[in-house]
Structure 1
Amino acid sequence: MNETIAKFGHPATLIADYAHWVVLLRPAQPTLGALVLAAKSDATAFGDLPAAAHAELKTVTAAIEAALRQAVGYAKINYLMLMMVDPHVHFHVLPRYDGERSGAGITVADAGWPGQPDLGQAVKLDESQIAALTGWLKPYFA
C-alpha cells in the first residue's frame, strides 16, 4: 500500500480490495457514499500503471456503480482524478443527486447539485461514523 491509501484511512476505511485497486470510504463526504478509488501501485501518473491495473478498472468501476446505485440511488456519478495533494494514482468517486441521502445514521446533501461538486461542504466523519458508513456500504460490494 502507498502513502495516499494510508492518508485516506486504510484499513479503517476499506470497503473493497482488488488485485490492483482498493475502494475506500472518503472520510469527508461531499455526497453520501463518496469513495476513494486508489491504485495499490506507487505510480504517480495514470499512464504509468501496469496494463493489468487499467484492465481491472472495468471490473472495479462496474462494482462501484452498481453498489452506489443500490445504496444511494445517485442520478450521476463523478470520478475526479485531481492528485494535487496526494501524489499516487487515485480517484475521488462522488455519487451525485438532487437533495439529501441518508445511510448509517448520516445525512448528506449534495450542495453542488446540479453543478460541480462542492467539496468545501463535505461532512467530516469521526471514527464511529467512518466505521458505521463503511459497514453500511461493504455489503453492497459483496
Structure 2
Amino acid sequence: MNETIRKFGYPATLIREYAHWAVLLRPAQLTLGSLVLAAKSEVTAFDELPPKAFAELKQVTGDIATVLGRAVSHTRLNYLMLMMVDPHVHFHVFPRYEAERSGGGLTLADPSWPGPPDLGKALKLDDEQIAALVEWLQGFWVG
C-alpha cells in the first residue's frame, strides 16, 4: 500500500480491498460513513491510473453507494479529490443527509448540509471508534 493509504490508518481503517482500490474509513468523520477511496498504485495524477483501475472504479463506486445507502440512507454522495497534502490518487467520500444518522456507536449530523462540506468540522476518531465503525460498515458490504 502506498504512503497515502497508510496515512489514512491502513490497515486498521481498511473496509474493503479491490485489485486497484482500497476503501478506508476516514479517521476524521465529517458525516457518518465518511470514507477514503484510494488507488493502490504509486501514481500521483488521476490520468496516470491504468485502464483497469478506471474500469474497476465503476464497481467500487457502485458498491460504496449501495453500502452507504444501507448504512446511512444518504441523500447525496460527495467525492472530493484534493491530493494537495497526500499526493497519491484518492477521493474523500462523504455521504450527505439532512438529519442525524446513527451507527457503529456514533451519532453524527451533517454540519454543512445543504452546502459544500466543511472539512474543519470533522470528528477525529479514536482507535476504538475506528474499529467499531469499520466493523459496522463491513457488515453492509456486498459480496
TM range (shorter): over 0.9
Q: What is the 5 A alignment of 1:96-107?
A: 96-107=96-107
What is the Cα-based RMSD across aligned positions, in Å?
A: 0.6
User: What is the DSSP-based 3-state SS (H/G/I as helix, E as strand, rest coil) of the residue aligned with 2:6?
Assistant: helix
Q: Which amino acid aligns with 1:49?
A: L
**Aligned partner of residue 95 in structure 1, secondary structure:** strand
SS, match of residue 37 in structure 1: strand
Counterpart check, 1:66 vs 2:66: yes
Shift in Å, 1:105? 1.2
Whole-angstrom CA distance in 2 between matches of 1:99 and 1:124: 20
Q: Distance in 2 between matches of 1:78 and 1:29?
A: 13
Q: For the residues of structure 2 that align with 1:93 and 1:103, how far apart are their CA atoms?
A: 17
Match of 2:137 in 1: 137
> Displacement of 1:109 after TM fit?
1.0
Q: Cα deviations across residues 107-133 of structure 1 (Å, max 9, x unaligned)?
A: 111000000012111111000000000
Residue 2 (structure 1) aligns with: 2
Gaps (5+ residues) in structure 1? Answer: none
Return the alpha-carbon distance in structure 2 between the equivalents of residues 128 and 81 of structure 1. 28
Structure 1 equivalent of residue 39 of structure 2? 39
The letter of the residue matching 2:27 is: P
**Aligned-residue offset at 1:99:** 2.1
Superposition pairs of residues 85-104 of structure 1, within 5 angstroms:
85-104=85-104
Aligned to 1:113: 113
Which TM-score applies when normalising by structure 2? 0.98
- Structure 1 runs (4+) deviating above 2 angstroms are none
TM-score (norm 1): 0.99
Identity %: 67
Measured in 2, the distance between the counterparts of 1:83 and 1:41 equals 14
Q: Distance in 2 between matches of 1:118 and 1:72?
A: 19
* 1:49 alignment partner in structure 2: 49
Q: Secondary structure at the match of 1:140?
A: coil
Q: 1:64 and 1:119 mapped to 2: Cα distance?
A: 20
Unmatched 5+ stretches in structure 2: none
Q: Distance in 1 between matches of 2:19 and 2:11?
A: 16
The separation in 2 between residues aligned to 1:93 and 1:74, in whole angstroms, is 12
**SS of aligned partner of 2:114:** coil
Task: Find the aligned partners of 2:100 and 2:92 in 1 and give their Cα distance.
Answer: 19
Which SS does the other structure have where 1:86 is aligned? coil
Q: What code does the residue aligned with 1:10 have?
A: Y
